[in-house]
């Protein structure tokens, strides 16, 4: 059986092995690689190590350096800025394991951060270490690995605060057994939180002080965003067995439309446009292009054309059927229509709008 989405440490096992072999710099206790090699793994070396994260080197260095201290790392940013992606690859490179994951939701309970019980055993045998079901955080502490907490600010505040003892005392008490689990060296936490959701369950200041915050930016230029989208689309295409049919021109178009609508002005700076309610993130651009390629592969001639991306773009832009539709129509008629080399795209959009 082949899995749909292998973990980073499995997918990139070869690259991690190459780095581990040539890495002669000092490794912090419990780390698989030196901070320098972790950074190379993330940014690529132009040869056999492919870039995973595309963005400012300094950001990655600060994130990696933080993990080597006793402070935890909080990746903050608007949706689709690769917070989850970076956290997975960081955990894979530092601990060789990206699976110690707690997903924060409104319903996340304290057991997800501390521990739960296997009730059958608890009733039969009473509280014992065998009846205890450790959380990913507890396992990370015991094994000296990196635990990941996704969407930290979506968790109820009292659950978030369960992390305070873990992060400041590096221990997790188990009062029922009169025991504790002490963190082994190599343990740390990477949390992600969405800028837009900041108001959901604001981090308490006690918890915030235990994190170093790294804000992930949106791609600085259209060129950078085109590169991110092309790279990820090619990777996804390979794992979904969709032939990657160039499509650079269409990728440029999706990125241009998204950037113009996001920023509220056209690339040449001459026309102001209204911004729709959705985020139009890089992640959404990636999925618009990937679905376009699926359309072209299964229902077209295998070449990505304007008609294959039009529906995806309209779907991403028009989230609110009333106000976003107005925004989209205006953009279509004042910007798209006026571009001579966008004729096909204009027609395709008219057909789906």
Ligand X SMILES: Nc1ncnc2c1ncn2[C@@H]1O[C@H](COP(=O)(O)OP(=O)(O)OP(=O)(O)O)[C@@H](O)[C@H]1O
Q: Which residues of the chain form contacts with Mg ion (CB under 5 A)?
A: 83-84
Listing DSSP states for 239-260 in one string gives: HTT------HHHHHHHHHHHHH
- Contact residue for ligand X among 38, 82, 93, 336 (CB under 6 A): 82
Binding partner at 283 among ligand X, Mg ion, none, C-beta below 5 to 8 Å by kind: ligand X
Shortest gap between Cβ of 132 and ligand X (angstroms)? Answer: 31
Q: What angle do CA 68, 74, 76 make, to 5 degrees?
A: 140
Q: How far apart are CA 186 and CA 199, in angstroms?
A: 32
For residue 55, state whether it binds ligand X (rule: CB under 6 A): yes
Give the bridge partners for 180, in sequence order. 173
For residue 114, state whether it binds ligand X (rule: CB under 6 A): no
Task: Convert 129-140 to b/e letters by CB count within 10 Å (16 or more is b).
Answer: eebbebbbbbbb
Binding partner at 80 among Mg ion, ligand X, none, C-beta below 5 to 8 Å by kind: ligand X
x/- mask, ligand X, residues 285-304, rule CB under 6 A, reads -x------------------
Residue 136 host element (H or E):
helix 136-143
For residue 41, state whether it binds ligand X (rule: CB under 6 A): no
Binding partner at 115 among ligand X, Mg ion, none, C-beta below 5 to 8 Å by kind: none
Binding residue count for ligand X, defined by CB under 6 A: 19
Q: How far apart are CA 346 and CA 337, in angstroms?
A: 6
DSSP 3-state of 276: coil
Q: How far apart are CA 318 and CA 322, in angstroms?
A: 8
DSSP 3-state of 257: helix
Both structure tokens of 293? 């390629």
Residues 192-221 interacting with ligand X (rule: CB under 6 A): 192, 194, 219
Q: How far apart are CA 239 and CA 11, in angstroms?
A: 11
For residue 8, state whether it binds ligand X (rule: CB under 6 A): no
- Contact residue for ligand X among 50, 84, 184, 275 (CB under 6 A): 84
Q: How far apart are CA 65 and CA 55, in angstroms?
A: 17
Q: Which is nearer to Mg ion, 51 or 79 (CB)?
A: 79
Binding partner at 232 among Mg ion, ligand X, none, C-beta below 5 to 8 Å by kind: ligand X
For residue 319, state whether it binds ligand X (rule: CB under 6 A): no
For residue 44, state whether it binds ligand X (rule: CB under 6 A): no
| Residues of the shown chain interacting with ligand X in the complex, contacts defined by CB under 6 A | 53-55, 77, 79-85, 192, 194, 219, 228, 232, 282-283, 286
């Amino acid at each position: 059986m082949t899995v749909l989405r292998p973990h980073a440490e499995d997918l990139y096992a070869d690259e991690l092995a190459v780095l581990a072999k040539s890495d002669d710099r000092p490794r912090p206790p419990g780390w698989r690689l030196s901070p320098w090699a972790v950074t190379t793994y993330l940014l690529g070396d132009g040869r056999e190590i492919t870039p995973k994260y595309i963005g400012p080197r300094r950001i990655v260095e600060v994130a990696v350096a933080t993990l080597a201290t006793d402070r935890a790392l909080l990746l903050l940013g608007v949706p689709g800025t690769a917070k989850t992606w970076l956290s997975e690859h960081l955990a894979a490179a530092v601990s060789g394991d990206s699976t110690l994951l707690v997903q924060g939701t409104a319903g996340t309970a304290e057991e997800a951060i501390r521990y739960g019980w296997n009730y059958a055993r608890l009733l039969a045998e009473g509280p014992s270490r065998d009846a205890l079901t450790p959380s990913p955080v507890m396992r990370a502490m015991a094994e000296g690995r990196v635990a990941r907490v996704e969407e930290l600010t979506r968790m109820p505040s009292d659950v978030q605060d369960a992390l305070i003892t873990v992060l400041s005392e590096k221990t997790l008490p188990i009062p029922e057994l009169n025991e504790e689990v002490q963190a082994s060296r190599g343990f740390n936490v990477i949390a992600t939180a969405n800028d837009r959701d900041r108001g959901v369950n604001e981090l308490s200041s006690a918890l915030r002080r235990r994190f170093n915050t790294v804000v992930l930016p949106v791609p600085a230029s259209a060129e950078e965003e085109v590169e991110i989208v092309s790279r990820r689309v090619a990777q996804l295409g390979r794992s979904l067995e969709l032939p990657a049919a160039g499509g650079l021109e269409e990728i440029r178009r999706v990125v241009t439309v998204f950037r113009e609508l996001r920023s509220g002005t056209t690339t040449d700076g001459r026309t102001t446009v209204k911004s729709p309610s959705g985020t139009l993130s890089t992640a959404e651009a990636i999925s618009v292009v990937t679905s376009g390629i699926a359309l072209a592969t299964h229902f077209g001639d295998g070449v990505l054309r304007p008609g294959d991306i039009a529906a995806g773009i309209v779907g991403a832009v028009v989230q609110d059927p009333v106000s976003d539709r107005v925004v989209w129509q205006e953009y279509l008629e004042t910007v798209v229509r006026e571009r001579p080399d966008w004729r096909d795209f204009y027609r395709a959009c008219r057909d789906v709008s």
